[in-house]
Chains A and B, each alone.
Chain A
Amino acid sequence: MIDFKTLADPKLIVILPEIVLTIFAMVVLIAGVFSEGKETKYSSNGYIAIIGIIFSFLVLIPLYGKDISAFNHMVVLDGYAFFFKVVTLIIAGLTIISSMNYTVKNGLELGEYYALILFAAVGMMLMASSTNLIMIFIALEMMSVSIYCLAAFKRKDDKSVEGAIKYFILGAFSAAFLLFGMALVYGGTGTFDLKEIFNYIKIYPEYRYNPMLIGGIALIATGFLFKISTVPFHMWTPDVYQGAPSPISGFMATGVKAAAFAAFLRVFITSFNFYHSDYAGIIAFFAVITMFGGNLIALAQTNIKRMLAYSSIAHAGYMLVGIVASTQISNSAILFYLLGYAFMNIGAFSVLATIGKNSLEDVKGVGLKYPFLGIAMCVFMFSMAGVPPAVGFLGKFYLFSAAINAKLYGLTILAVINSAISAYYYLRVLVYFYFKGESNLSLNYNMSNVFGLSLAIAGVLYLGILPSSVISYLQQSIMHLM
């Protein structure tokens, strides 16, 4: 029997959205068994998953503004975690909506597909709210394992399998780095709890540069840098994004990145703030090579998904600039950037999912033949290039303004130069969409595509034009964290 007293326990409320998602994930799994093998025009599993997202969202809303720590400080629900839970639900929701037509058309309409998305979302949400290194690791693995499976979901396609295996091996490797780093930090401080690590470093300054501790921090940073795909830990990204089903590529580029940044920022802000002056230079170096690496290689791509993979690397580079600055403004700017990036990137991948082709040659003329898809792609590409009034501009505006505030002039100039370079390859997509003649594709897209794209466009424009309330919320929640 369910003990309702335990359910009503105020502590359990902290992970209630995750619980709801898990339940729905299992329901999708079971429902998938019944619908499997039947010819269908509608994605029944997708609808169940969407209902799960909505329910999770509904139980999340009342938690707004709460600040609870639960399970011996394993997880916490603060403004920061709340924000990332909302972002994760938006990302998962958009991914599911843009998958619904895609899975039916490509024979991927299985319960597992949607169940795995929901499980990954649970992992992402937990990552943002964990305040304990072990908990972070468990959440990260929960997310990663689901994503490995999703990346391999087109199991008859060599590219998909190849990408997934690459991702799995390298991912397991980086997880080992992360875990070893955590163990070393534990060895150095005697605790996994983020707050207590901070206290230990504060009380015993003589142990601050203990090699074990420093090594641990470096390994943890490496693990996170892998997950947010910075150069030189980016090798897996293009292959995985190209091979995976298009909506899943969008999910990985935004969800995994957001969750990894969430944990990265929380660990480094809460526990390792003392070392900021030490690691700022190293992160700045990574930021520069990541921006240039991502953007310059993206210039040469002829496959749009690969191009978007390199562009996602470059975007990670921009966000690292915020970590270098590490002020209240820059940290909230990173969060805002992640939110905006989620809308535009999932949007771009859903356009590709709708078209079903990925190379530049294949999409020529699509913009003029299908005006809605064209306008959607324009919004996403201009937004990623950082052109107002889309959120891509405001995100960069906020982030780079924060960097200038922290007196990072050189780094900011390099970042805006990169932004100008990136305009070339984003616009080249539109060159093929509009300038290269007639399209011979005949697409049939349904209401779910239109709805998903409209949501993404609305998000991009709304956050680009009226971001004020979101930004002040972020500034408060970051202040609380610091």
Chain B
Amino acid sequence: MEIITNHLLTILIFLPLAGAITLLGFQRDNDGGVKLIASFFGFMNLILGLVLFFCYSGNGAVFQFVEKYQWIKSLGIQYYLGVDAVSMYLITATTLMTAICLVASWNIKKYVREYFLCILFVESGVIGALAALDLVLFYIFWEVMLIPMYFLIGIWGDYKRIYSTLKFYIYTMAGSVIMLVAIFTLYWLNGKGNFEILGMYNMSIPASKQMLLFLAFFVAFAIKVPLIPFHTWQPDTYVNAPTAGTVLLAAVLSKMGVYGFYRFALPLFPEAAMRFTPVIATLTLVAVVYISLIAIVQKDMKRLIAYSSVAHLAIIVLGMYLLTTQGVQGAIFQMLNHTVVTGALFLLLGILFERSASRQIKDYSGLAKQMPLYATFFMIAMLASVGLPGTNGFIGEFLLFIGIFKANIFYAVIACSGTVLGAIYILWMYQRSFFGPLEKEENKKLPDMNVREFGYMIPLIILIFVMGIFPQYFIKKFNNTTVSFINTVKTGHAVSMIIDNK
């Protein structure tokens, strides 16, 4: 037990990888075994993720579960892991979404073994990037997670898969290589011969250099989120990826961009971040309104949800950059909501597209009559997405808007209008496809959700309500982290960064 808690993060990172390697030992046609073993590893990691969640103490040090070893000594790269509340939550959410994706992908027909291998591989990369406290270690995991995504989209995606996957990969890679140059510059400026992020928080970098370095980091993360004007890869990629790929991209990988702002861009370059805040606020507000308007006219359901995801993320980024307590808390809470809700919506769409080939809204009507359970679940996820009180979306948006309002009323007004538009596009889509008469013959044969689908959707539905009704239980764990984050950015020094080294 001691070993597990002392090396919990390492195990969380490498258990899925071990699972992926185990899968290589299976025969090509042994699909049943592959599914079982992959899901087993997914669930083991989910259990470890829950252990991490329950063992993280909201009153203790900010960074817990710290592991630190020399790795490549001659280059100053360390194997340095540790989580604060934000990365802890995101890791737990990642383990949950991956486990669900694994179960949700049981209907995959071709190259089953490789498919599950890729999903487990993504999980390793994401958890590694979230847990790393060494810049290079982070960068390595950040790049590694692209490899399985590349194959997930390329092999199992839809008709434009090759175009989408190359576009996704090159776009992301172009962003991150520029960040790499910034990482080198930081390293030599720091002069301490290591890449420790927490140590770098205390650097005082001249303002002119800060601006350039900030931009380099900002672009890499903005591409990943994605923010306008770096979003052009996103709709194609989300739409053409297989269901699990879309869920991982939307629910998990997009958070990596926001996490990047939170962990690197803001605390490392506070002055530059402050100066760029008006620009970023403009970009995010434009995104909220413009993307919501685009979403309204979409004919393709998956594309519509993809755009809605971008709009929601833009508000999260805005809340984070304005640096008010509620805004940051709301951003963190809404990140978790976004994972659960967007994940749920894409999973539900996946269930529908497994039964019927069309993704067009016009091909469906009256689904609520034919698939009542499915329609209920979709309704709950959708209402959480628009922020109905009682669901988690309400708490997150409420906090965010208080935070934005405190910083700037003008921003708050525009951001709120985005929410109204958000309600329009998603409710309208729901009305067109789920209500009305059940006309098409092929839609009359659609079966409702089966036990497996019900089984993997129900945890998300429960979470929507639990997080909406008992938000305090979740928020109190990240109080310390929020305070120390805001202090770090505002003072330029990691004053209250306490590291638990036991």
A interface, CB within 8 angstroms of B? 368, 371, 378, 382, 385-389, 393-394, 397-398, 400-401, 404-405, 409, 412-413, 416-417, 419-420, 423-424, 427-428, 430-431, 434-436, 466-468, 471-472, 475
Contacts and interface: CB of A to CB of B under 8 A. Distances in A.
A387 B146 contact: yes
Contact of A413 (B72, B111, B169, B181): B181
A416 B140 CA distance: 16
A427 B136 contact: no
Given A435-B154, A435-B161, A387 B147 contact: yes
Contacts of A385: 173
Nearest to A387: B143
B3 interface: no
Given A382-B147, A467-B72, A417 B184 contact: no
A404 B184 contact: yes
A184 to B, nearest CB: 39
A368 B111 contact: yes
Given A435-B161, A471-B74, A387 B144 contact: yes
Nearest to B184: A404
B72 A427 contact: no
B110 to A, nearest CB: 9
B151 A389 contact: no
A199 B165 CA distance: 57
A435 B71 CA distance: 36
B139 A388 contact: yes
B184 A420 contact: no
B144 A420 contact: no
Contacts of A404: 181, 184-185, 187-188
Nearest to B176: A420
A382 B151 CA distance: 12
A371 B162 CA distance: 20
A368 B156 CA distance: 13
A467 B73 CA distance: 9
A419 B71 CA distance: 25
B120 to A, nearest CB: 15
A435 B140 contact: no
Given A368-B114, A404-B187, 15 more contacts: A387-B143, A393-B143, A401-B75, A404-B181, A404-B185, A409-B185, A416-B178, A420-B170, A423-B170, A427-B170, A434-B151, A435-B162, A436-B162, A466-B72, A475-B74
B151 A420 contact: no
A400 B155 contact: no
A393 B155 contact: no
B143 A420 contact: no
A416 B181 contact: yes
12 contacts: A368-B114, A388-B140, A389-B140, A397-B136, A401-B188, A404-B181, A420-B173, A420-B177, A427-B166, A434-B151, A435-B155, A471-B72
A400 B181 contact: yes
A322 to B, nearest CB: 14
B174 interface: yes
Contacts of A389: 140, 144
A34 to B, nearest CB: 43
A419 B140 contact: no
A424 B180 CA distance: 18
A436 B161 CA distance: 11
A413 to B, nearest CB: 6
B117 to A, nearest CB: 10
User: Chain B's interface: helix, strand, loop or mixed, by majority?
Assistant: helix
B150 interface: yes
Contacts of B185: 404, 409
A397 B162 contact: no
Contacts of A388: 139-140, 143-144
B180 A400 contact: yes
Contacts of A423: 169-170, 173
A361 to B, nearest CB: 14
User: Chain A's interface: helix, strand, loop or mixed, by majority?
Assistant: helix
Contacts of B143: 387-388, 393
Contacts of B181: 400, 404, 409, 412-413, 416
B42 to A, nearest CB: 22
Given A388-B140, A404-B188, A412-B184, A398 B75 contact: yes
Contacts of B75: 397-398, 401, 467-468, 471
| Nearest 3 interchain pairs by C-beta | A404-B184, A416-B177, A388-B140
A431 B162 contact: yes
A401 B74 contact: no
Interface of B: 24, 71-75, 111, 114, 136, 139-140, 143-144, 146-147, 150-151, 154-155, 161-162, 165-166, 169-170, 173-174, 177-178, 180-181, 184-185, 187-188
A394 B180 CA distance: 12
A393 B142 CA distance: 13
Nearest to A405: B188
A424 B187 CA distance: 29
Contacts of B165: 435
B95 to A, nearest CB: 22
Contact of B140 (A393, A398, A417, A436): A393
B195 to A, nearest CB: 10
A387 B165 CA distance: 16
B180 to A, nearest CB: 6
Contacts of A412: 181, 184
A434 B154 contact: yes
B316 to A, nearest CB: 27
B111 A468 contact: no
A175 B185 CA distance: 40
Contacts of B111: 368
A472 B73 CA distance: 9
Contacts of A371: 24
A477 to B, nearest CB: 13
Contacts of B140: 388-389, 393
Nearest to A467: B72
Given A400-B181, A404-B185, A412-B184, A468 B166 contact: no
Contacts of A368: 111, 114, 155
Contacts of B139: 388
Nearest to A464: B140
B74 A468 contact: yes
A409 B212 CA distance: 12
A417 B177 CA distance: 7
Contacts of A436: 162
A468 B72 contact: yes
A428 B139 CA distance: 23
A307 to B, nearest CB: 15
B440 to A, nearest CB: 32
Contacts of A397: 75, 136, 180
A471 B74 CA distance: 7
B131 to A, nearest CB: 16
Contacts of B147: 378, 382, 387
Contacts of B174: 417, 420
The winner among B114, B146, B150 for most chain A CB atoms within 10 A is: B150
A412 B183 CA distance: 12
A392 to B, nearest CB: 11
A467 B72 CA distance: 7
A389 B137 CA distance: 10
B173 to A, nearest CB: 5
A389 B73 CA distance: 16
Contacts of B73: 468, 472
Contact of A427 (B74, B150, B178): B150
A284 B136 CA distance: 27
A386 to B, nearest CB: 8
A404 B146 CA distance: 26
A187 B382 CA distance: 84
Contacts of A419: 177
A229 B114 CA distance: 39
A416 B180 contact: yes
Contacts of B136: 397
